[in-house]
Amino acid sequence: MRTLSWVYLGAIFTFILLPVVVLVIFSFQDGRLPVPPFKGATLKWYAKILADRDLMEALVNSLMVAVLSSLVAVTLGFLAASGLARTVLPGSALMRGLLIAPMTVSYLIIGLGLLQMFNQVGIRPSLLATGIGHVVINLPLCFAIVYAAIGEHQKSALQAARDLGAREWQVLWHIAAPMLAPSLAAAFFLSFTFSWDEFIIAFLLTRFDVTLPVEIWSMLRSGLSPATNAVGSLVFLVSVAVVVTLELTLFRKGSK
């Protein structure tokens, strides 16, 4: 069984890692096509994409949409979770259900619905529209994460602050937010990742200013090119670097 395990492990890791390895290797291809044979290493494709103004604009757009939409989603989710954890409101279960509902609907359908509504009220496709869509998909996640983190201990601390005369915003800002900081950070980080990588909503709801996945999509239409490999590799390497840094700093500190 031991040999079988190792053989299986080797085979499945090859399958999982093959496309990424091929992607990165052929981003250095000194030729026009990112397929074998490998003709030697060059950095010219990286130079090309870093000088590509549309691509860099799309990258900045993506960052902006991801940061702002995640901030809104985390804030709304945090407020709603504190409100619902505080007292039993009439229809609490229904409200929770409604807040979670978008999680079960395909992004395509959420995007299509927003597109039609925006068309009817005359809002043009834009980064703002995309950001609104990203808040819709991430709000359920943020709400669920923060809501799950508010236990009995947290509830009594908040109640104590109120009994001692703190105003509601003081309770939220000085007690709830610091106490829930790890889950707020996790919610923000996850939202950011989903927004950063989201394609279909951004594709439907942007026109002139686009996000990075949409820009990459339009690069694909011109066929295989080492430039696309270079963009993909760059996104990959930056993400891995961010994850490793978080792992080494934030989470290690947290576990001590």
Partner 1 sequence: MSIERIEKRQGATLVAPALLWTLVFFVLPFLAMALMSLSHLEGRSVVSGPDLRNYAKIFTEPSLLKGIAVSLEITALVTVISVALAWPLAWIIATRIPVRWRRLALLLAVLPFWTSYVVRSYSWALVLGEKGVVMNALVGLGMLSEPVQIMATRSATVIGFVHFFVMLLTLTIYSNLIQLSPNYARAAEDLGASRWQVIRLVILPLTLPGVVTGAFLTFVLCIGDYITPQILGGNNELTLPQLIMLQLGRRGDYPMASALSLVLMLIVTLAYLACARWLKMERV
Distance (Å) of CA 249 to CA 151, 179, 181, 191: 26, 20, 16, 20
Among 95, 128, 157, 185, binds partner 1 (CB under 8 A): 95
Q: Cβ of residue 153: shortest distance to partner 1, in angstroms?
A: 19
Check binding of 228 to partner 1 (CB under 8 A): yes
Site for partner 1 in 23-52 (CB under 8 A): 23, 26, 33-36
Q: Cβ of residue 139: shortest distance to partner 1, in angstroms?
A: 6
Check binding of 93 to partner 1 (CB under 8 A): no
Among 40, 53, 120, 122, binds partner 1 (CB under 8 A): 120
Q: Cβ of residue 232: shortest distance to partner 1, in angstroms?
A: 4
| Cα gap 27→237, rounded to integer Å | 12
| Cα gap 69→72, rounded to integer Å | 5
Q: Cβ of residue 87: shortest distance to partner 1, in angstroms?
A: 5
| Contact characters 57-86, partner 1, x per CB under 8 A | -------------------xx-xx-xxx-x
Check binding of 212 to partner 1 (CB under 8 A): yes
In the three-class reduction of DSSP (H, G, I as helix; E, B as strand; rest coil), residue 29 is classed as: strand
Residue given tokens 């994460």 in the structure block:
145
Q: Are 131 and 65 in contact (CB under 8 A)?
A: yes
Among 112, 157, 166, 185, binds partner 1 (CB under 8 A): 112
Check binding of 222 to partner 1 (CB under 8 A): no
Site for partner 1 in 236-255 (CB under 8 A): 236, 239-240, 243
- Interface with partner 1 (CB under 8 A), residue total 76
The sign one gets for the Cα dihedral 163, 168, 170, 176 is positive
Total Cβ atoms within 10 A of residue 119: 11
Site for partner 1 in 132-191 (CB under 8 A): 132-133, 135-136, 139, 143, 168
Total Cβ atoms within 10 A of residue 34: 21
Check binding of 125 to partner 1 (CB under 8 A): no
Q: How many residues appear in the chain?
A: 256
Q: Is the CB of 64 or the CB of 113 nearer to partner 1?
A: 113
| Cα gap 113→109, rounded to integer Å | 6
Check binding of 123 to partner 1 (CB under 8 A): no
Check binding of 231 to partner 1 (CB under 8 A): yes
Q: Is 12 left (phi over 0), alpha (psi -120 to 50) or beta?
A: alpha
Q: Are 129 and 113 in contact (CB under 8 A)?
A: no
